[in-house]
A and B are shown apart, each in its own frame.
Chain A
Amino acid sequence: MRARERGARVKIAGALDALVRASRSGAPTARLAANLRGAWLEHGDLAIEIRPSGLIVDGRLAVPADAQAARWALPAFMVGARTLALAPPLEAPDLERFAEALARLEVEEESLRAFGDWLFEDGAEGLAVELHASFVEVLEHAEAAFDAARGVRAARGAAALPTGVTQPIAAVELDRAALLPELGVDIARYADDARARRFELTGADLRELEDGASDPAAWSRAELRAVLELPALRSLADPHDVSRRLLAWLRERVEAPALAMVTGLLGADDAAGRRVAAALDPRALAGAILEGLRFEMPTEELGDLLAVAPAPLARALLHGLLAEASRRADARYFLTQLAYSWPPQRWVEVWAPDAIEPEQARALTRVLLGLGLDALLGDALEALPAESAAAALEAMDPEQLPAHERAIERLASQGDAGVSTLVGKMTGSTAPQVRSFVGELLRRHDTLPWEPREFSRACRHLALDESGRDVLVELSRSTRLDTRLRVSALNALRGDPERQRRASAWRLRELMEPPELRAALKRIRQTSASAALEEA
């Protein structure tokens, strides 16, 4: 190891001692702890040995103990602490807490016991402390060992154990035990099973038990439930730690108890609950819920949460759900179910429609239609941005569109191209009221930049009834309409010679019409004349 690196490692021990001294004197420790953390993480393999004489690094005395420096080394050694090493993740506050505990340490039995308990209880988070027997335990052992030695000699056969156990065993006792129904002792069966090796564990069994018993997520969930459900713990909890664990749980899997906990926290009237609720960032919480949500779960708990959630949280959740619903049928179904447990006016309160994307709008429309909330849908369409409103309308059946005339009118008056698509969609309906609505729409908005193909299809659709053909006559003669569209309207009248004649009747104004229209009119008139001649 190079001298420079060795020096850096020695400095880490010095920095730890400096942190302890700062903590003892009440000086600020945050910066010292952060620096120590950074330096120690750079030398992750460093283990600081503790001896009464001081701190040892790489086999050398790095910080000699005296009345000031490494004063804590002796009591820590007495507790049984031998080495300190990193056990990441390590945060600066972990080091501050550790230094605080060392600063309080005195060569006094109660202080030593408390520190030893704290270490054994994993209080030194982020650090691995090698813990031997404390001096007090050494004495206890020494005092008790004599009797133990006698017992061990007996067990090894050097002397008889207490006489009771050497008496013949009363089989009658076992028979009586077997008769107790709650015990159901069946020695013979146990022996048979044991001889048949039915109690053996496979490697897979062991791994399963190991995985289950050490599953950090399961522990974290159980601890979180304990902390949040038991007021005695809740008042002691670190709100940020609780918040972090709660988010981790939700991210992994949204379960009813977790949602119920969040709901309880948002409505908590105790100071501790409010502290934790304040530590929950709405966006992060919504993100965690959306990440861990499985759409097969019941919706009641999420509905309860949405009912009390502050608007930013409810909004983020709603938008996230809508985004999922735009992609997945199960999410759509989930959202529909959810809406049953959530008052409709809440949607309007929280949803911030101006931020709803077209895909979300489609999903929202399907959900609201599924719920039969047409009125709410009307409000929604008016509040959505034009592109999203168009997308929402597209998600409807053509027969439903005339009921949302206001929304379509708004789009049309804004010159939104989506109206063309809507018209095209409506041409798929044979319902007279839909056709009539299309006609009115085309007539009222003849200045719109209609998409030619959709317009042409709409014209053919209008040609199917009398009133529609009247509209076509109007359209064909409208000078505000694009020439290609007027030609489409004219062409659509092909099956109605009378109206076609009206549409193509010569006017002085025709001289100012674009050539292609004039050509089309001329062609129609010629065709009409030929037809008349043939007829004559």
Chain B
Amino acid sequence: MSRAAVVHELYVAMRAATRYGRAHPSTEAAATRLAEAIEAASPPFALQLVGEAVFADRQLLPLDLDAHRRAMEVARAAHALQVHELSFSVTPSRSEAAALAGALADGARGREGALEELLLRSIGWREIPQADWGEESQEVDPEIFAVTQVSLAVADAAGLGSHGEWRWSKGLAIVRRLERALASHRVAAERTLEANDLPWTLARRSVSAARLAENALSLLRLPSSARRATVHAALMIAASGLRERGGLPLEEAAAAALDRALAAAPPRGRISPHRVRAVALLRALAADGAGDLPAAKLVALTYRVERDRRPEGASFDLTKVDLLSAAAADETVDGAWLRLVINAEGVLPPGARVVLSDGSPGLVMGPGDPMDAWRPSVLVAGRVVIPDAPVRLGGER
């Protein structure tokens, strides 16, 4: 029996308990069937009741419309009890199943805390913070949302590898996460990538390149198709061209990304406009440098920044402001796109190492005084402050 059947039996038992009470034979019969369904579903497993969906061990349960409606009644009852996950370690006894059904019935009637009174050997439950998010995304803390999405993007990027056919779906997921993260809280998204002391892995650098592109393009009014393709191309080139230190020259990185992109067959043999556009960018970069596609210049810039972040022949990593300084001093870099990037990142981007007026070193966390870019919010000795006087960059004399 499937785990969807467990949800069904949960619903039936909850309804029986609601209608007839816990001790009624119908409720006991429903509890028995619930216990049997759980046994048939081979515990241990867990059901997550998140948003408007039901997952079993984090896999979406395939429910038809009626089953979904029933599941949502169970979910609403569980949410009323501050529960988003029910775990079944072993097959419950009939009385345990009945107790769970009764607690859900209480939840359906709005009685909070019904589960707290229970102590069940085989059934566990927990609240998942942020699990009610979905339709009401505005209620989610934007900073937390941005940080989560960036973290998930880096985790996704770890699965991309630097060889083999391009995993378009994963790439799209990263682009989508970055898009939402930046729309939610731009600075938090940037800080998550830039201002922490975790190693600069290939995944982190790849996501950082894509974020740089997304952040810069967010200052322009562009069709989403152009923006997404550019960000995806930046991700593909970075993931395919960057090495532990340094990376391939741009044209080679673009060619490698192009090979990977073309190696993946499109679903149902029909290529989407997004794929064509991303491939066109890669081809332009691989063949013509940038061709006559202005967006390709931004992709080239993002790749350069992340390639130089961990320079070959050095044992240290550079911060964003070092990289922007280097690009600014390079006449081959397109000036307009670089200025756009600097405007998007801020002249003192998060992660920049600065020196305060009293000589103490600090780390830029984000914008501070809106009237003075040189008074950002700075982490100094474990505290985030907006300094009274302008800071100077760590490398300035």
Q: Which of B266-295 contact A (CB under 8 A)?
A: 266-267, 269-277, 279-281, 283-284, 291-295
Any A CB within 8 A of the CB of B223: yes
Query: What are the residues of chain B within 8 A of A174 when measuring CB–CB?
Result: 322, 353, 394-395
Q: How far is the CB of B228 from chain A (nearest CB, A)?
A: 7
Chain B residues with CB under 8 A of A535 = none
Question: In the assembly, what is the distance between CA of A122 and CA of B258, in Å?
Answer: 20
Taken together as a complex, chains A and B put the C-alpha atoms of A174 and B51 apart, in Å, by 48
Q: Digitize A130-157: 1 where CB-to-B-CB distance is under 8 Å, 0 elsewhere.
A: 0011011111111111111101100111
Q: Is B248 positioned at the interface, with any CB of A under 8 Å from its CB?
A: no
Known: A155-B191, A185-B325, A219-B277. 9 other contacts (CB 8 A): A122-B224, A125-B273, A141-B149, A142-B50, A142-B129, A147-B148, A166-B363, A171-B394, A186-B328
Is the beta-carbon distance between B396 and A191 smaller than 8 angstroms? yes
**B308: which A residues are within 8 A, CB to CB?**
182-183
CB distance from A220 to the nearest CB of B (A): 9
Which of A35-43, A109-117, A446-454 is the interface stretch?
A109-117
Give Cα A178–Cα B321 distance, bound, in whole angstroms.
Answer: 13
> B337 contacts the other chain (Cβ, under 8 Å)?
yes
Q: When A138-B53, A146-B129, A180-B314 are in contact, do A214 and B222 touch as well, CB less than 8 Å?
A: yes
Residue of A nearest to B324 (CB): A190
- Name the interface residues of B211-247: CB closer than 8 Å to any CB of A: 217, 219-226, 228, 230
Partner of A187, one of B137, B277, B395: B395
B230 touches A213 (CB 8 A): yes
B63 within 8 A of A: yes
- With an 8 A cutoff between CB atoms, is B392 at the interface? yes
Q: Please give the distance in Å from B84's CB to the nearest CB on chain A.
A: 7
Residue B279 contacts which of A155, A161, A233 (CB distance < 8 angstroms)?
A: A233
* Contact A193–B328 (Cβ < 8 Å): yes
Known: A164-B197, A213-B226, A215-B294. A187 touches B396 (CB 8 A): yes
> CB-nearest residue of chain B relative to A170?
B316
Tell me whether A157 and B128 are in contact in the complex, defined as CB-CB below 8 angstroms, given that A107-B64, A177-B316, A183-B308 are known contacts: no
Residue A208 at the chain B interface, CB threshold 8 Å: yes
Find B343's partner among A173, A193, A200 (CB 8 Å cutoff). A200
Q: Closest Cβ of chain B: how far from A286's Cβ, in Å?
A: 25
* B311 contacts A182, C-beta separation under 8 Å: yes
Chain A residue total in the interface (Cβ 8 A): 100
Cβ-defined contact, A122 with B294, below 8 A: no
Given the interface pairs A162-B197, A213-B226, the reply to whether A109 lies near B59 with Cβ below 8 Å is yes
A136, closest chain B residue (CB): B60
Residues B19-58 near A (CB distance < 8 A): 48, 50-53, 55, 58
A223 at the interface (CB under 8 A from B): yes
Stretch at the interface among B107-115, B168-176, B201-209: B168-176
- Name the interface residues of B94-152: CB closer than 8 Å to any CB of A: 128-131, 133-135, 137, 140-141, 143-145, 147-149, 151-152
CB-based contact A161/B342 at 8 Å: no
Which residue of B is nearest A190, CB measured?
B325
Nearest Cβ on chain B to A405's Cβ, whole angstroms: 54
Q: Of B141, B196, B293, B373, which is within 8 A of A194 by CB?
A: B373
**Chain B contact patch, size range:** 35 or more
Given A152-B143, A222-B280, are A139 and B58 neighbors across the interface (CB < 8 Å)? yes
| Chain B residues whose CB sits within 8 angstroms of the CB of A169 once the complex forms | 353, 361, 363, 394
Interface check B371, CB cutoff 8 A: no
Q: Is A168 an interface residue (CB 8 A)?
A: yes
Q: 11 interchain pairs (CB within 8 A)? A: A108-B62, A120-B175, A121-B172, A123-B273, A142-B133, A146-B129, A148-B151, A152-B144, A180-B313, A205-B339, A232-B262
Task: Give the docked Cα–Cα distance between A232 and B266 (Å).
Answer: 10
Question: Are A185 and B326 touching (Cβ within 8 A)?
Answer: yes
A199 engages B283 (CB within 8 Å): no
| Ranked 9 nearest A-B pairs via Cβ | A164-B197, A187-B395, A212-B294, A121-B274, A135-B53, A190-B325, A157-B384, A160-B382, A148-B147
Q: Does any Cβ of B come within 8 Å of A188's Cβ?
A: yes
Question: B60: which of A107, A178, A227, A236 is its contact (CB, 8 Å)?
Answer: A107
B318 proximal to A (CB < 8 A): yes
Distance A331 CA – B137 CA, assembled complex (angstroms): 62
Partner of A138, one of B133, B262, B273: B133
* B374 interfacial contact with A, CB 8 Å: yes
The residues of B that contact A112 with a CB separation of less than 8 Å are 60
Contact between A122 and B396, CB atoms less than 8 A apart? no
Q: Given A200-B343, A215-B294, A229-B283, is A113 in contact with B169 using a C-beta cutoff of 8 Å?
A: yes
Q: Chain A residues near B84: list those with CB within 8 A.
A: 142
Indicate whether A209 reaches chain B with its CB closer than 8 angstroms: yes
Q: Whole-angstrom distance between the alpha carbons of A194 and B343 in the complex? A: 10
Instruction: Specify which chain A residues have a CB less than 8 angstroms from the CB of B180 in the assembled complex.
Output: 133
